[in-house]
Structure formats: structure tokens, C-alpha cells
């Protein structure tokens, strides 16, 4: 009899502990649709190509205009098949693992980071290869590698994004570019998973003319939230996957001097 009571008590205790812990864990909605937009000015000075880009995203189930960023920097073409770039980005609305907080006891929420400016330093090395042995010949394989250092929280991230692009050429000029890429974000000093984010994405670029390009992208991203500082303080640990289908639009302005 005593054993039975003890067993039931133990089960109740464990269940209640899990229920309490569940409140500390951010819940991810079912796959949501998000929207992203960007506009980029790319200046072609030969081997040296500066660029300035503004971007924004309508995120979460309520499509809140949360993330926005301004990036400036330049690429240097070191070799026919190799470009390196360095960029500075200032951004607001970025969400990090530690933004899941408990401001008052028992109340958990995401920090509203829209007013929080973060500075990010980016280094880019991207080898490219002409895959003209494929049918149609106008294929380019790229591996975009980016190292990102977020000064705000000292997070180091490595992005690796292999991609294959096909250029539809008319009168010796590209008319459309179709690209299939897969981006992997590897957290170097944070998180509890090997990939913080990963996403396959498809993009179509319409070369309206030499100076205006229109872009449409579709990505299926998976972001893994790992235990925040406040959750650690409560002795909770978790990893939660947030999934979204992101539709993106872009207007690009390449200018050649």
C-alpha cells in the first residue's frame, strides 16, 4: 500500500514538474508564411564591387515588421572563380535564443527587439565554377561562405550555402536566372545544435535590363531555438524548431562604371 502511494506521488510530481517546465519553453507555431524584401545597389568597378543593401521581413504568425537591416561593404574579385567580401551590417529586430525571457515570475515572452540596434561584421568568401558540362551549358555552381560576428552578443556564426544557378540567355545577355540553394547557419559559440538555421531556397531573377533586376524567392527555413539564459536559470533545457515558408521580393540595381 505504501509503495503504491509513493509511486503515484512520484508520477504526479514528475508530471507536474514537466508541466511547469513546459511553460518555460517557447512554443513554435505550425509552419507560418513570412515575407521578406530587399533592395540592393551594386556598383561594378571592375574587380572591386561595393554594395549597399536594405532589407526587411514580416515575421511570425502576425506578420510583424520585425527584422530590418542595412548592409554596406564590397566584394573583391581575387580570381576568376573566387570573390571575397567584407561588410558591415546594422540591424534591428533580430531574435536570439536569449531573447526568450521571464520578465516577471511565471511570465515568459520574446523580447521586442525592434528598437535594439545590433552591429554585425561579415566576411565572405565565395568560390564559383562554370558547370558548362550540364545541358544548356549556362550553369554556375557557387558555395557562398560567410562568417558573421554579432557585436551585440558576441555571437560567431558561419553560413555555408551551396547553390546551382542556370542563366537563360537571350541575345548574349541573361534574361532569367534560376537558382536552387541550401543555406546552413552554424553557430560557433552558442546554441545546442550544430545548425542554428537551415533553409533550402529557390530564386528567380528577371534581368529587366542591365541596371534593374527583379527577384522572387521562396525559402523553407527551420530555426532551432536553444535554451535561453533565463531558462537555464530555471534549470530548463530545450531545443525548439521554428519553421516558416518565406516569400521574398527584391529589386536590384547594378551599376557599371
Which residue's CB is nearer to another protein, number 28 or number 84? 84
Closer residue to another protein, CB minimum distance, 110 or 139: 139
Told to check if 50 binds another protein by CB under 8 A, we report: no
Tell me how far CA of residue 234 lies from CA of 95, 104, 238, in angstroms: 21, 13, 12
Residue from 10, 14, 63, 73 nearest 41 by CA: 73
> What is the C-alpha separation between 99 and 101, in angstroms, rounded?
6
**DSSP string over 143-211:** EEEEEEEETTTTEEEEEEEEEEEEEEEETTEEEEEEEEEEEEEEESSS-SSS-SEEEEEEEEEEEEETT
Task: Check binding of 91 to another protein (CB under 8 A).
Answer: no
Stretch that binds another protein, among 26-34, 105-113, 171-179, 187-195 (CB under 8 A): 171-179
87 binds another protein (CB under 8 A): no
Among 67, 167, 201, 242, contact with another protein (rule: CB under 8 A): 167
Alpha-carbon gap, residue 71 to 61, rounded angstroms: 26
Shortest distance in whole angstroms from residue 128 CB to another protein: 5
What are the backbone angles phi and psi of residue 110, rounded to the nearest 5°? -85, 140
Count the residues of the shown chain that bind another protein, applying the rule CB under 8 A.
34
Return the residue of 126, 193, 222, 234 that touches another protein, per CB under 8 A.
126
Q: Choose one: 101-109, 111-119, 162-170, 232-240; the region binding another protein (CB under 8 A).
A: 162-170
Residue 172 CB, nearest distance to another protein (Å)? 6
Residue 246: how many other CB atoms lie within 10 Å: 19
Contact range with another protein by CB under 8 A, out of 13-21, 57-65, 79-87, 114-122: 79-87
Whole-angstrom Cα distance, residue 95 to residue 185?
14
**C-alpha cell read off for 74:** 564590397
Q: Which of residues 204-243 bind another protein (CB under 8 A)?
A: 205, 210, 213, 215
Residue ranges of alpha helices (H) inside the chain are 2-22, 229-233
Does 39 engage in binding with another protein (CB under 8 A)?
no
Residue 172 is a binding residue for another protein (CB under 8 A)? yes
- Positive or negative: CA dihedral 232, 235, 241, 244: negative
Which residues are at the interface with another protein (CB under 8 A)? 40, 42, 44, 53, 75, 77, 80-81, 83, 126, 128-130, 138, 140, 142, 144, 165, 167, 169, 171-174, 177, 205, 210, 213, 215, 250, 252, 254, 256-257
Amino acid at each position: 500500500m505504501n509503495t503504491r502511494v509513493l509511486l503515484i506521488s512520484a508520477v504526479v510530481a514528475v508530471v507536474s514538474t514537466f508541466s511547469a517546465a513546459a511553460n518555460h519553453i517557447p512554443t513554435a507555431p505550425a509552419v507560418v508564411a513570412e515575407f521578406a524584401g530587399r533592395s540592393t545597389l551594386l556598383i561594378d568597378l571592375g574587380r572591386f564591387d561595393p554594395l549597399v543593401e536594405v532589407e526587411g521581413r514580416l515575421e511570425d504568425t502576425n506578420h510583424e515588421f520585425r527584422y530590418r537591416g542595412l548592409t554596406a561593404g564590397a566584394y573583391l574579385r581575387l580570381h576568376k572563380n573566387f570573390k571575397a567580401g567584407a561588410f558591415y551590417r546594422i540591424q534591428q529586430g533580430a531574435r536570439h535564443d536569449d531573447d526568450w525571457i521571464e520578465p516577471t515570475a511565471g511570465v515568459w515572452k520574446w523580447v521586442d527587439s525592434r528598437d535594439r540596434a545590433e552591429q554585425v561584421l561579415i566576411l565572405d568568401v565565395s568560390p564559383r565554377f562554370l558547370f558548362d558540362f550540364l545541358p544548356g551549358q549556362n550553369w554556375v555552381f557557387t558555395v557562398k561562405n560567410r562568417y558573421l560576428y554579432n557585436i551585440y552578443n558576441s555571437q560567431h556564426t558561419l553560413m555555408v550555402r551551396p547553390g546551382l544557378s542556370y542563366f537563360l540567355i537571350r541575345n548574349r545577355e541573361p534574361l532569367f536566372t534560376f537558382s536552387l540553394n541550401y543555406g546552413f547557419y552554424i553557430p560557433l559559440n552558442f546554441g545546442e545544435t550544430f545548425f542554428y538555421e537551415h533553409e533550402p531556397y529557390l530564386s528567380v531573377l528577371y534581368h529587366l535590363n542591365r541596371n534593374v533586376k527583379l527577384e522572387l524567392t521562396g525559402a523553407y527555413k527551420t530555426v532551432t531555438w536553444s535554451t535561453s539564459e533565463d531558462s537555464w536559470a530555471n534549470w530548463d533545457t530545450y531545443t525548439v524548431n521554428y519553421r516558416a515558408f518565406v516569400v521574398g521580393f527584391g529589386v536590384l540595381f547594378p551599376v557599371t562604371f
